[in-house]
Amino acid sequence: MTSEIVMDIAKDAIYTIIISSAPLLLISLIVGLVISIIQTATSIQEQTLTFVPKVVCIFIAMMLFGSWILNNIVEFMVRLWSNFSAYVG
């Protein structure tokens, strides 16, 4: 196994992680921003106020994007395991 193969595997793994986590992270970011704007406008500075809406939105996003995320991860693993003989030999 050469260093180029290792770097390709690492690059594919990082890309898969970023692409798979992007929808959930973006939804969490948007919900947090909206709640922060509401907190600023109403002068309510409760730190735990953002927790419940984020958890609910992430749960809904997992129901919507869960199969897509799982397909991305499974695709990566299939590519990784299908080329296993090239990595060992």
In a domain, 33, yes or no: yes
Whether 86 is covered by a domain: the verdict is no
Which pLDDT belongs to residue 7? 93
Q: In this predicted structure, what is the pLDDT of residue 62?
A: 96
* Mean pLDDT in consecutive groups of 10 residues from the start of the chain, 89 residues: 87 96 95 91 82 93 96 95 81
User: For residue 33, how many other CB atoms are within 10 A of its CB?
Assistant: 11
User: Which domain does 61 fall in, by range?
Assistant: 3-80
| pLDDT value of residue 89 | 66
Residue 87: what pLDDT? Answer: 76
Question: Structure pTM?
Answer: 0.79
Residue 73 within a domain = yes
Instruction: Specify the pLDDT at position 70.
Output: 96
- Going by the DSSP 8-state scheme, the letter that residue 43 receives in this structure is T
> How many domains does the chain contain in total?
1
88 domain residue, yes or no: no
Please check whether residue 87 lies inside any domain of the structure.
no
The two three-digit tokens of residue 39, written as one number: 């907190």
Query: Is 85 a member of any domain?
Result: no
Cβ contact 85:5 at 8 Å = no
The two three-digit tokens of residue 81, written as one number? 């395991």
